[in-house]
Chains A and B, each alone.
Chain A
Amino acid sequence: MSFKIASSPHNRISRSTAEIMLLVVVACIPGIIVQALLFGYGVLIQLVLAISTAWLAEALVMQLRAKPVLPRLKDHSAMLTAVLLAIAIPPYAPWWLIVIGTFFAIVIVKQLYGGLGNNLFNPAMAAYVMLLIAFPLQMTQWLPSVSLQPESLSVLDAVCAVFTQYSCSGFSITQLQSGIDGVSMATPLDTLRTDLAAGLTLTESMQQPVFYGIAGAGWLWVNLAYLAGGLMLVKLRVIGWRIPAAVLGSLFLISLLSWLAAADSNPSPLFQLFSGATMLAAFFIATDPVSASTTNNGRLLYGALIGLMIFIIRKYGGYPDGVAFAILLANMAVPLIDYYTRPRTYGHKAKGAGK
């Protein structure tokens, strides 16, 4: 007669950390598909590169730390980091960019801080910012949406472009970036910022072809796809509603105010919400539990801070999109936010830091 001795509770809810990570990856799929269709297949190659690099890097570090490799890879956290970075960088960025970025995300930002659960910063965003600062040219090589591209690129072209920076038919990325009229086209956010800085009004800037639709050609659909995936995560209770609601709410509110105050020099709130990486940030990146606030009120504050920072950086910053910086800045504030938003424990007096 031998019996297993275990500590209570003896039953557990079935969802595991690995499942949570996997569900987040799955929820990215609609967005990835739309991105691939509207901005070319480059994103798929970036994904393959990023995921393999992440697995290798994770395995290498686990080996160095003398810890079991396979269970760690099975928790899918490295894959999620890789996916988020791959969809955030320009689809035809050179191959080494994503490799360096992913390696940096896994080894430096995540593992050197102690591995899963111990990193202060969101690995994907920290890597993105590192790449943006170190390789600004490559990191702004966004092509316009497929409809505006002079040459349509096949999957094979995409592979060539990522590895050689030339399509199979010999066009360089710079050439591909240019519109039919030969004018180089950046992302709508980038274009708008440049134009507003150059003294153009919003209406004048919006005349350009990149601004097709309410948020720029293609970008609306990408954002809608991520919104759908994000709502699915909320519905499945993989992520809470507080952080995305706070990010979008604060961004909407502050852009609405600025737009009402000066409609000619500020884009509309809807443009802010459906342009750039807004939805991806609100539902997939800001909600990374490890680097986000852990209290309910703290999450609202954290999300609102991100929304505010996105607006400020987009309007006054030197980079096309402010999402990555906004999230890193909010990550830094998390310990403070968590400390001052502790919930009142049962039977204790309200507020007053717990006692």
Chain B
Amino acid sequence: MPSLFQQIQAGKLWDFHGGVHPPTRKAQTAQKPIGVLPLPDRLYIPLRQHIGVAGHVLVSKGQRVLKGQPLTSADNSMAVPVHAPTSGTVMAIAEHTSAHPSALPEITITLVPDGLDEWRSRYPLNLATSDKLSLLERIQESGIAGMGGAGFPAHLKAGLTQPVDYLIINAVECEPYITADDALIQEGAITIVKGIDILCKLLNPKAVLIGIEDDKPIASAALKAACSQREHYYVRDVPTKYPSGGEKQLIQLLTNKEVPAGRRPIDIGIVMLNVGTAFAVAQAVLDDQPLLSRIVTVTGETLSQPQNVLALIGTPVSDLLTFCGYQQQTAGKVIMGGPMMGFTLPDLTVPIIKTTNCILAPSQYELPQPGNELDCIRCSACADACPASLLPQQLLWYSKAKDPAKLDEYNLFDCIECGACAYVCPSEIPLVQYYRVAKAEIREQQREAVKAEQAKARFEARNARLEREKQQRMARNQQLAQAREQAQKTGSNSNAVADALARIKAKKAEQPAPATNREQVLAEREAKKQQAREYQAAKAAANQQPDSVSETAKQEQAVSSEPTVNESATVEPANAKSAAVAAAIARAKAKKAAQAQAEQQETIVEAEQTKQPEAIEQSSPQAATDPRKAAIAAAIARAKAKKQADSEKS
């Protein structure tokens, strides 16, 4: 039995469950040269075009920017910047319809090109002399996010440190209509292989597997020719079947491995990148050209010249359609992406983003409107088509029943939303839509559950604290009562003054315990005040993380049990110095006042507490007949106690 690697080397391919064969309709665009769009009037560049967080805006309204100049910063590992695709002026930084199924507005930089196409200065890297870190930095700074559709930041994949057996380059492009990768490979196979070289240097895989569907013979031949000098690069022609280009499906096709549920391909030693990503990496490293443009397939029967075009990131969809001779039809639709997983656009001002591979403007006959949804007849054509071996008809049933437990049991979250089930459904049930809704509902429920859990924990912690404080109070009272009893036994109890003196003595003996209690109370109080101040400060500085700051401050305070002004000043965020000093002084004053007040209250409370049990156990007639005397004694005791406390404090 040959090893897996030997089988892969020998060219063995495996199969995955299910899959469908929709008409590919790629011939309309596959063999045409890539068209170059004229410079658009406006470019709409959304700040976030990948999975992760947007970088901070580096430019301001009215500023002139050069081609390739970063518009946002890559200040976070999950952030990749966006760049000016050409030179021009920033006209606005405002909300614009997003290139997302929801079409919700998102912050977008509007750029007016000046037609000069003036580059910033460029610094190409030499692959042989560059170290990994500078390569990764360059990939991130060039704004490269997975170009196959998901838009995962490329530097995160290329920077994985776990051992990699196989680097898989995904050139399958299984969605009908789309030929963008096909065209890219036909024209840029050599650059793609250079990009793979860079990725190999970063990841050091045992072998590189390039998967391409067998309906792209020209592209496949070009790749094979470009790889001919590389020993461990293998180009594999996989049978045309949707969704062979899904990450999990391609891994299964090429290596017979499955990514365990809830894990990532790297956990089984595999990294997969799109062929367009490899191309972009080569451009970024070797030419210092960030991701400014991409190839987009513009196709559909409403176009007189369907073709692949090289479009700048941010180009409105309308420009592409006009370029390809679009005649709008009544009740037409325009789809971003392919017919299986793409989404319809609400209007044509939506821009091309890094993950846009296709604009599809079909006629009504080409992709007719869905008919009426009928009842499921449980034919399980969907189960036969599902590449994840799910049971879509059961998932539909439980989605309708809103039964999250059953949905989980039937592995709803393993659904990759490829649409194969809905494609084959004879009752025209929009199955994927049901699953999307169910998933969103479950995620929402989970968020609610986490929130409720947190609230419960907070409530329980509060109850525990109250209980603890009550216990402490009771313990202290008991100790005081005992001390008093002892004093009564030893000393004369005939006169109230002596009694009070005895109490004070007893208290003296008891001093350490209540002292620490008091300190704690003070520290807590101070910590709370500090927290409030921190909160205010955090609110002022928008990007602070108020929770963690105040949390640490609170902890510090509580632990030290001797909060000083200096210390609280250090945890203060770096504000203006004078303000900090002023605040510190104010705090010190406030603290002093608060302490004094607290001290007073404390002693009063204590005195009262000590008085009560005494009154109960003695209830001697003389105490009752001589209340004034007792009151005077109590007052003296209070004063002494206060003095004592003050001296102790200092």
- Measured CB to CB, the residues of A under 8 A from B are 1, 3-13, 15-17, 19-20, 71, 75, 77, 115-118, 289-290, 292, 294-296, 338, 342-348, 353-355
Contact = CB atoms under 8 A, between A and B. Distances in A.
Given A9-B341, A12-B370, A355-B409, 8 more contacts: A4-B331, A7-B433, A16-B426, A17-B377, A117-B376, A294-B380, A294-B383, A347-B262
A17 B258 CA distance: 34
Given A10-B342, A348-B414, A354-B410, A20 B370 contact: no
B334 interface: yes
A8 B342 contact: yes
B441 interface: no
A7 B346 contact: no
Contact of B389 (A1, A71, A346): A346
A316 B322 CA distance: 77
Contacts of A10: 333, 335, 339-340, 342, 344, 360, 362, 367
B347 A9 contact: no
12 contacts: A3-B344, A4-B344, A9-B419, A9-B423, A11-B339, A116-B375, A117-B377, A296-B383, A342-B391, A342-B410, A344-B389, A346-B387
Given A1-B347, A4-B332, A116 B432 contact: no
Nearest to A238: B379
B390 A345 contact: yes
A3 B411 contact: no
A117 B375 contact: yes
Interface in B526-563: none
Contacts of A345: 261, 388-390, 411, 414
Given A20-B379, A347-B414, A348-B414, A9 B369 contact: no
Given A294-B391, A346-B388, A6 B378 contact: no
B422 A9 contact: yes
Interface residues of B, number: 71
Contact of A354 (B370, B384, B411, B428): B411
A298 to B, nearest CB: 9
B378 A289 contact: yes
B632 interface: no
Contacts of A343: 17, 383, 389, 391
A20 B348 CA distance: 39
B232 to A, nearest CB: 27
Nearest to A5: B344
A8 B419 contact: yes
Interface string B263-304: 100000000000000000000000000000000000000000
B378 A11 contact: no
Contact of A12 (B16, B258, B260, B422): B422
B48 interface: no
Contact of B261 (A12, A17, A77, A348): A348
A346 B432 contact: no
A347 B344 contact: no
Interface in B314-351: 328, 331-335, 337, 339-348
A125 B387 CA distance: 35
Given A11-B176, A347-B258, A295 B380 contact: yes
A346 B379 contact: no
A115 B377 CA distance: 10
B259 interface: yes
Interface string B363-401: 000010111101111111001100111110110000000
Given A3-B345, A346-B17, A346-B387, A75 B411 contact: no
Interface string B392-436: 011000000000000001110010010100111111101011001
B341 A289 contact: no
B333 A6 contact: yes
B507 interface: no
B328 to A, nearest CB: 7
Contacts of A116: 374-375, 377
Given A8-B341, A11-B339, A289 B22 contact: no
B248 interface: yes
Contacts of B388: 345-347
Closest 9 CB pairs of A and B: A9-B419, A117-B375, A347-B261, A289-B379, A7-B433, A294-B380, A346-B388, A4-B333, A17-B426
A346 B377 contact: no
Contacts of A77: 377
A200 to B, nearest CB: 45
Interface string B423-466: 11111101011001000000000000000000000000000000
B14 to A, nearest CB: 13
Contacts of B428: 12, 16
Contacts of B344: 3-6, 10
B432 A15 contact: no
A342 B428 CA distance: 24
A9 B372 contact: no
Interface of B: 16-17, 20, 22-23, 176, 248, 252, 258-263, 328, 331-335, 337, 339-348, 360, 362, 367, 369-372, 374-380, 383-384, 387-391, 393-394, 409-411, 414, 417, 419, 422-428, 430, 432-433, 436
A262 B367 CA distance: 62
Contact of A347 (B248, B378, B409): B248
A354 B409 contact: yes
Contact of B375 (A4, A118, A294): A118
A75 B379 CA distance: 14
A118 B342 CA distance: 32
Given A117-B377, A346-B388, A5 B176 contact: no
A7 B432 contact: yes
B254 to A, nearest CB: 15
Contacts of A294: 378, 380, 383, 391, 393-394
A346 B346 CA distance: 35
A117 B373 CA distance: 13
A1 B432 CA distance: 27
Given A7-B430, A10-B335, A19-B426, A346 B380 contact: no
Question: Which of B341, B367, B379 gathers most chain A CB within 10 Å?
Answer: B379
B425 A12 contact: yes
Nearest to B419: A9
Contacts of A11: 22-23, 176, 339-340, 367, 423
B413 to A, nearest CB: 10
A20 B376 CA distance: 13
Contacts of B384: 296
Contacts of A9: 339-341, 419, 422-423, 432
B389 A289 contact: no
Nearest to A291: B378
A10 B337 CA distance: 11
Contacts of B376: 117
Contacts of B433: 7
A343 B385 CA distance: 13
Nearest to B252: A346
B259 A347 contact: yes
A354 B337 CA distance: 33
Contacts of B263: 347
A11 B393 CA distance: 19
B379 A295 contact: no
B95 to A, nearest CB: 20
Nearest to A116: B375
Contacts of B377: 17, 20, 77, 116-117, 289-290
B443 to A, nearest CB: 18
A342 to B, nearest CB: 6
A3 B409 contact: no
B187 to A, nearest CB: 28
Contacts of B380: 289, 294-295
Contacts of B328: 1
B248 to A, nearest CB: 6
B333 A3 contact: yes
Nearest to B415: A345
B284 to A, nearest CB: 31
Contacts of B425: 12
